Amino acid sequence: MGHIIGSLNAGELLNNELTDSLSAMERGYSPLENAIRAMDVSVCEAFSKSGALAPVTFAPGDRTLEPNHEVAEAFPNSIAASKNIILTAAETMTSKVTGKRIAVLFSGGPAAGGHNVVVGLKQILGPDNTLMGVIAGPKGLLRGNLFEITDEHVNEIRNTGGFDFLGTDRTKIEKPDDIEKVRNVCREQNLDAIVIIGGDDSNTNAALLAEKLFSDVKDDGSGVQVIGVPKTIDGDLQLGDDLPISFGFDTATKIYAEKVGNLLRDTASSLKYWHFVRLMGRSASHVTLEVALQTHPTITLISEEIRERDIPLSEIVDIIAQTIIERAKKDLNYGVILVPEGLIEFIPGFTTMIDDLNDKMAQFKDELNGKSIREQLLFMYSKLTQSHGELLESLPDSIKYMLMADRDEHGNLPVSRIETEAMLSNAVKARISELDANVKFESLNHFFGYEARCGASSLFDSSYTYNLGATAGSLILDGRTGYMASLTVLDKGARPLGIPIASLLDIEMRKGKPAKVIEKALVKLDSQAFLYLQSRRKLWAEYDFSSSPGPVQFWGPTARQMPKTVALNRGYSSLDFKF
Ligand code: FBP
């Protein structure tokens, strides 16, 4: 009898060149990945001045950050040490630092390039220091789940996407108990430093750990250094010229742009569908803006604009419906509409309703426990203000249910699971039939999210992250703590920086309580990237001006391109990174 998972005789397949190479691929070695592993990444001059890769020292630069007063009081050690000054790479390190034990972990959502942070870190630390990998993110750190990273590991993970080498999670390290656990792990493992590779919330973890482990961890009274590395496909961890972009953004947007470019081609070929595409990126619309600049879709919604210009849902729907009707007059019954993942949090009325909901869910946590979603909703309608209750009740069930979903440990709404694109396309359909029943409108909904976070790392992300790893390692060897590694002037050689993390914290409401967190960088309406979109939008809506950038390129004319939004916002004269 045939077996459901295979009936071939394994013996027949052995000793065959094709099956040998296929089974090699089963182990995760695709020929393309092997070729990418072998690729050289660019090293910025600071690390290669002496001819070989060497760490650098840091000195105070000319930029000072202004911390929130309340935050400054809660982070006395970090603020006193950094004086809120951004450090800049000074010289090649001449003294040899040896015997340090450093742990590295991934935190939050995966992003391409994380593996190369580990590679850069390992190589800059050299053979005289030990790099330990923490399994499964902050949770693994609390459990003391560590192993030594070897040169063989480095060869295996070089230039590959994903975080699967170590795994990741979203545990928030905050409570005194957690800090004590980390302190104990540091003692047991004899650690001198921890590197946290993560986004805004993970770097908030890093700031707190740096403060709490500043001194008195080891028997001689010394502390454990903590360094952050800016990661997130969302691109919402940026700080002007001092931190042009988080890593992972470039790869993710290039992958989304390929898919959106393909859809634009498909729809201009088949001439009959309107595609509503929601793009990952959480609250900020950087991902959507970047993909729009790469592909020129028919309509691009930008959450920040909707909030700032106070555009209600009915008007968003009207704008889309009118564009569809106008195009129908030219027989263009198709197009692509980009919707940022976190749009729902920015629509006037929804913002305050979601805040109210977050507060009440935290306040009535015990009462909600054990209730079904329907019961929870009924309970909530009466607890929210009348207008918020009515708004929540008016929404489609799928949206309501997701708005009631558990927040993550950092208090974030799981926007990746809220089908805003479906809500919009249904509303647009209804509006079109009110305005002009003769207009042909067929829509398809898409969510492009998890597909891109672990894609093969772009050349930009591979190079950027290798240098971020080398920067993090240099900060450690230079004795620094509480800094985030960064690189500036990506168009002119790139220079390593250390940004004092505590100086970035602000007060925000999370789970109904004020929390000290790194503020998410949102799309600015006066930024060059947004203004560029603004100047082209009408044209892209009226005619077909789409561009199909194709797959992520590792060789060829566009291989060295950085994100367009970064080049435009930083005023670089070319799209190519130069280091
Ligand atoms: P980070 O901020 O941790 O990098 O995560 C980004 C992200 O990919 C968001 O774009 C998305 O909304 C979220 O993670 C999804 O989270 P999860 O992986 O927990 O489903």
Query: What's the gap in Å between 362 CA and the centre of ligand 1?
Result: 21
Domain-located, residue 276: yes
Same domain, 326 and 466: no
Give me the percent of the chain exceeding a pLDDT of 90.
82
* 265-269, 392-396, 410-414, 442-446: least confidently modelled range: 410-414
Q: pLDDT digit string (tens) for 86-116?
A: 999 999 999 999 999 999 999 999 999 999 9
CATH number for the domain that contains residue 255 = 3.40.50.460
Taking the C-alpha atoms of residue 82 and residue 211, their distance in angstroms, rounded to an integer, is 12
Nearest-CA residue for ligand 1 atom 5 is: 109
User: What's the total number of domains in the chain?
Assistant: 2
Residues 165 and 297 in one domain: no
From atom 20 of ligand 1, which residue's Cα is the shortest distance away? 416
Residue 146 sits in the same domain as residue 92: yes
Given the residues 178, 192, 234, 236, the one annotated as active site? 234
pTM for this entry:
0.93
pLDDT of 468 above 70 = yes
pLDDT of residue 12: 57
- In a domain, residue 560? The reply is no
For residue 179, give the nearest of 194, 159, 169, 168 by alpha carbon. 194
Q: Phi then psi for 148, rounded to 5 degrees?
A: -80, 135
3-state secondary structure of 546: coil
Q: Is 342 left (phi over 0), alpha (psi -120 to 50) or beta?
A: alpha
Q: Looking at the structure, tell me whether residues 530 and 471 fall in a common domain.
A: no
Domain that holds residue 420: 249-454+525-552
d(CA 115, CA 279): 24
Pairing state of beta strands 483-488 and 443-448? unpaired
Q: Whose CA is nearest to atom 19 of ligand 1?
A: 109
Domain identity same for 357 and 277: yes
Task: Look at residue 1 in the predicted model and tell me its pLDDT.
Answer: 44
| Closest ligand 1 atom number to CA of residue 453 | 8
CA 415 to ligand 1: nearest atom: 12
Residues 120 and 134 in one domain: yes
Q: What pLDDT, on the 0 to 100 scale, is given for residue 21?
A: 74
Residue ranges of alpha helices (H) inside 27-175 are 31-37, 45-48, 69-74, 76-82, 114-125, 137-143, 151-157
CA of 419 to the centre of ligand 1 (A): 15
- Let me know if residue 9 belongs to a domain: no
In this structure, are 71 and 152 located in the same domain?
yes
Closest CA to 101 of 197, 185, 32: 185
478 is catalytic: no
Helices (H) and strands (E) in the chain, counts: 25, 15
Domain for residue 531, yes or no?
Answer: yes
80 CA to middle of ligand 1, Å?
33
The alpha carbon of 31 and the centre of ligand 1 are apart by a number of angstroms equal to 29
- Say which DSSP state 522 is in: P
**Ligand 1 atom at shortest distance from the alpha carbon of 200:** 2
The helix (run of H) or strand (run of E) holding residue 429 is: helix 420-435
**How, if at all, do strands 443-448 and 274-279 pair?**
parallel
**297 backbone dihedrals φ, ψ, rounded to 5°:** -70, 170
- pLDDT higher than threshold 50 for residue 64: yes
Q: Atom 12 in ligand 1: which residue has the minimum CA distance? A: 282
Q: Is residue 577 part of a domain?
A: no
In angstroms, the CA 131 to CA 194 distance is 10
Phi then psi for residue 551, to 5 deg, are -70, 165
Q: Are 192 and 224 in contact (CB under 8 A)?
A: yes
CA distance 474 to 436: 64
> Which residue type, as a one-letter code, is found at position 515?
A
**Order of all β-strands in the sheet with 225-230:** 56-64, 85-92, 495-500, 483-488, 225-230, 193-198, 101-106, 130-134, 146-148
Q: Say if residue 291 is in the same domain as residue 339.
A: yes
Range with the poorest average pLDDT among 269-278, 403-412, 531-540: 403-412
pLDDT 10s digits, 188-236: 999 999 999 999 989 999 999 999 999 999 999 999 999 999 999 999 9
Judge if 479 and 363 occupy the same domain: no
Sequence-distant (≥ 6) Cβ neighbours of residue 121 within 8 angstroms: 102, 104, 131, 195, 469, 470, 472, 473
Antiparallel, parallel or unpaired: β 505-510 and 483-488: unpaired
Give the pLDDT mean for 437-443.
Answer: 93
- Using alpha carbons only, how large is the chain's radius of gyration in Å? 25
How high is the pLDDT of residue 239? 97
Q: Is 89 domain-assigned?
A: yes
In this structure, the answer to whether residues 65 and 140 fall within a common structural domain is yes
Q: CA–CA separation, 471 vs 497, rounded Å?
A: 7
Can you give the pLDDT at residue 67? 86
455 has pLDDT over 80? yes
CATH number at residue 158: 3.40.50.450
Q: Confidence class of residue 2 from pLDDT cuts 50, 70 and 90?
A: very low
Considering the domain architecture, whether residues 464 and 479 belong to the same structural domain is answered as yes
Distance between CA atoms of 305 and 343, rounded to whole angstroms? 10
Residue among 233, 237, 238, 412 whose CB has most ligand 1 atoms within 8 A, to mutate: 233
Tokens of 452: 């891109």
Burial (0-12, 13-18, 19+ Cβ within 10 Å), 294: buried
CA 457 to ligand 1 center in whole angstroms: 17
Give the C-alpha separation, 548 to 512, whole Å. Answer: 44
Average pLDDT of every residue of the chain = 93
In contact, 364 and 336? CB cutoff 8 Å: no
| 3-class DSSP state of 445 | strand
Domain assignment present for residue 424? The answer is: yes
pLDDT in tens, 152-164: 999 999 999 999 9
Question: How far apart are the C-alpha atoms of 419 and 411, rounded to whole Å?
Answer: 20
pLDDT for 513 equals: 79
Q: What angle do CA 288, 290, 295 make, to 5 degrees?
A: 90
pLDDT interval class at 9 (50, 70, 90): low
3-class SS at 274?
A: strand
- Reduced to 3 states, what is the DSSP secondary structure of residue 578? coil
Q: Which atom of ligand 1 is nearest to the CA of 408?
A: 19
Pocket of ligand 1 (CB under 6 A): 108-109, 111, 199, 232-234, 280-282, 341, 415-416, 453
Q: Do both 222 and 170 map to the same domain?
A: yes
Long-range CB contacts (within 8 A, 24+) of 155-158: 155/37, 157/115, 157/116, 157/118, 157/119, 158/37, 158/115, 158/116, 158/119
The kind and range of the H/E element at 15 are: none
Nearby residues of 341 by Cβ (< 8 Å), 6 or more positions away: 278, 279, 280, 281, 282, 287, 415, 416, 420, 449
pLDDT of 8 over the 80 cut? no
465 found inside a domain: yes
- Does the structure show a pLDDT above 60 at 14? no
- Interhelix angle for 286-295 vs 249-270, to 10°? 50
Angstrom distance (rounded) from CA 29 to CA 49:
34
